[in-house]
Structure 1
Amino acid sequence: MGLDLEALREAVKTHGTVTRVVIAAIKGSSPREVGAAMLVWQNGQSGTIGGGVLEYEAVKVARTQTVRSRLTHHALGPDMGQCCGGAVSLFSEVFDANAVDALDDTVIVRSASDGDIPLSVKRLLAAARGQGIAPQPQLIDGWMVEPVHKPARTLWIWGAGHVGRALVDVLHPLPDLAITWVDTAPERFPETIPTGVTSVPAAKPAELVRHAPPDAEHLVLTYSHNLDLELCNRLLSHDFRIAGLIGSATKWARFRSRLAALGHAPERINRITCPIGDTGLGKHPQMIAVGVAAELLRPARQNELKKDLSA
């Protein structure tokens, strides 16, 4: 987790001045982890630091904040009557377009008070650079250190019909997914595309497969069985981390036969999952989307991805 620079830019562009509130440190039990953040503007907000009284009070203060940044400390039990029982430090910072443009695109370091960056922070940053890793979000000697969030996973969704839209609705808020959404024409997409989703209208979608990263994940669910088949064919000739195809057991049996006739080995074809989601949930688009999301997020899948990334 880290500072979602794209979401911050979009919020400032849409709403003007925006206050970002991030959990800087915790002691004991807390509704969210260090680095969890929300964006607050005059008539709305996005994200969450855990809900309840803590968030309610933080939103109220953020909308009237006059200083550039502030660091506050809250005992959840005595101060707010929450049963978590821990204590939370919040770092709140006001952003306009100029402030966002001034941010670094790798690691953000700032304090609620003036002064030079302390040696402890410099050592932390030097150690992170030496190891080639981003530092974890943390508060150190009154300074908030956050990496700029970079999605760890690339997901291509092929098809903007009912199921495609349901999938995007469910998956786009997840912080570790960068979604590319493909269909045959602009009018196939909804008028508003969520932040973090790149829509790509293409008359011949299968031609785009070669541009997908070899570690991308794919969900194939277009309006055309012929296009679905061609996408599966191109994916098997390309490379991918995982691929899923919407359909029934009958559809998949026919596809397996046709893909074999196109020269793909059985073990290669078996890398495609069909059907996708949890069939026990039902066939409603949102039910399919929930099942797919659960599959993408299950611990076993996360462990597989971590092994792939460390290989």
Structure 2
Amino acid sequence: MAFDLEGLRAAVAAHGRVTRVVIAAIRGSSPREMGAAMLVWQDGQSGTIGGGALEFQAAEAARAGRLGLSWHALGPELGQCCGGAVTLLTESWDAARIDTVDGTVVARPALPFSGTENGPETLQVSGAPLTVKRLLARARGQGVLPEAQLVGDWMVEPVLRPSRQLWVWGAGHVGRALVNALSPLPDFAITWVDTAPERFPETIPGGVTRLPATRPADLVPYAPKEAEHLVLTYSHELDLELCNRLLRHDFTFAGLIGSATKWARFRSRLAALGHTPQQIDRITCPIGDPALGKHPACIAIGVAARLLRPEQSGITRKELSA
């Protein structure tokens, strides 16, 4: 898990001061991993540290202004069946504090629970320990980001950087369902393309870049060659042109919505455009899991599962990018 700086910045812009609760350490079983976080403000919250009694009590403590480290035995204390224990770090963030983050790693003192809103902020602390300094040096000098972890009395988290570039071609019913399903996942940076602004919904999820273009296929050269693509426009001709351009451009994964009949016709037409059978085989069609049904949400669930387990396509990501 990583520190979602942009998500925190958006929450602070919308709600003012926001409290962030992060799982700093785990012993035994836990409903979420280290680095999982939620944001809490007076009349709402976002994100999750696992739900249940732990999350409810943590949100109440955050609203009461109780900051710092706190320890929770999930079974004896909260009646949860996980059987482990977690350490939570609860911090207050505003725009001024966000501006101090360098954009690579967030490292700061994680002081014991103070019981007051500003307690941990006002105490004097020594400089970062040597272990933390080494983690920061590796991140800045070598680009090796640390995992979220509690190092002594310091919390260290890498800033979220999506590792997968996903281009969704088409903003119809299936495109919307796919973007709604995939946009909450931190690994994906989504670029969403269609032929006109009115093709998109009024509200676009955070982390999604909307690109209206009269000729969408002309945008293919601007996609990173390691990007993944989902082609599902309203036009078979546009779908075909996108497949043609993608095969000439390169990609890590490309999936096309369609039936077996559509794909058979596309294979013939792509061959006529000069692509070999081996090249054409790199495109996956149909996408998703046909057994789930044809409802847009069913297609989105199948596609999301496939993307999250790319080895199930029969072609590994390493092979696709070779």
Question: Scaled by the length of structure 2, what TM-score is found?
Answer: 0.91
Alignment of 1:262-281 (within 5 A): 262-281=273-292
State the distance in 2 between where 1:121 and 1:34 align. Answer: 17
What is the CA-CA distance between 1:245 and the residue it aligns to?
0.5
1:230 aligns with 2:241: yes
Residue-by-residue CA offset, 1:271-305 (whole Å, 9 max, x unaligned):
00111100000000000000001101126369934
User: Secondary structure of the residue that 1:160 maps to in structure 2?
Assistant: coil
State the distance in 1 between where 2:298 and 2:185 align. Answer: 17
Deviates more, 1:127-136 or 1:112-121: 127-136
**Cα RMSD (Å):** 1.9
Q: Which amino acid aligns with 2:152?
A: D
Equivalent residue for 2:89?
91
State the distance in 1 between where 2:51 and 2:318 align. Answer: 30
Residue 223 of structure 2 is aligned with which of 192, 212, 216?
A: 212
Equivalent residue for 2:73?
75
Equivalent residue for 1:304?
316
What is the CA-CA distance between 1:256 and the residue it aligns to?
0.8
State the distance in 1 between where 2:158 and 2:319 align. Answer: 22
Equivalent residue for 1:153?
164
Q: Which amino acid aligns with 2:133?
A: K
What is the CA-CA distance between 1:125 and the residue it aligns to?
3.0
User: Secondary structure of the residue that 2:206 maps to in structure 1?
Assistant: coil
CA 1:308–1:133 in structure 2 vs 1: closer, same or farther (change >3 Å)? Answer: farther
Residue-by-residue CA offset, 1:185-232 (whole Å, 9 max, x unaligned):
111111110011111111110010000000000000001111111111
Given that 2:256 and 2:284 are in contact with CA atoms closer than 8 Å, whether structure 1 keeps it comes out as yes
Equivalent residue for 1:9?
9
Q: Which amino acid aligns with 2:203?
A: T
Equivalent residue for 1:23?
23
What is the CA-CA distance between 1:98 and the residue it aligns to?
1.6
Q: Which amino acid aligns with 1:273?
A: T
Alignment of 1:1-311 (within 5 A): 1-65=1-65, 69-113=67-111, 114-115=124-125, 116-127=127-138, 132-298=143-309, 300=311, 304-305=316-317
State the distance in 2 between where 1:127 and 1:102 align. Answer: 20
CA 1:3–1:308 in structure 2 vs 1: closer, same or farther (change >3 Å)? Answer: farther
State the distance in 2 between where 1:198 and 1:146 align. Answer: 25
Unaligned runs of 5+ in 2: 112-123
What is the CA-CA distance between 1:129 and the residue it aligns to?
5.2
Residue-by-residue CA offset, 1:133-155 (whole Å, 9 max, x unaligned):
10110001111000001111000
State the distance in 2 between where 1:127 and 1:107 align. Answer: 11
Unaligned runs of 5+ in 1: none
Q: Percent identity?
A: 69
Given that 2:253 and 2:320 are in contact with CA atoms closer than 8 Å, whether structure 1 keeps it comes out as no
Question: Scaled by the length of structure 1, what TM-score is found?
Answer: 0.94
Given that 1:120 and 1:141 are in contact with CA atoms closer than 8 Å, whether structure 2 keeps it comes out as no
State the distance in 1 between where 2:109 and 2:238 align. Answer: 53
User: Secondary structure of the residue that 1:247 maps to in structure 2?
Assistant: coil
User: Secondary structure of the residue that 2:76 maps to in structure 1?
Assistant: helix
Q: Number of aligned pairs?
A: 308
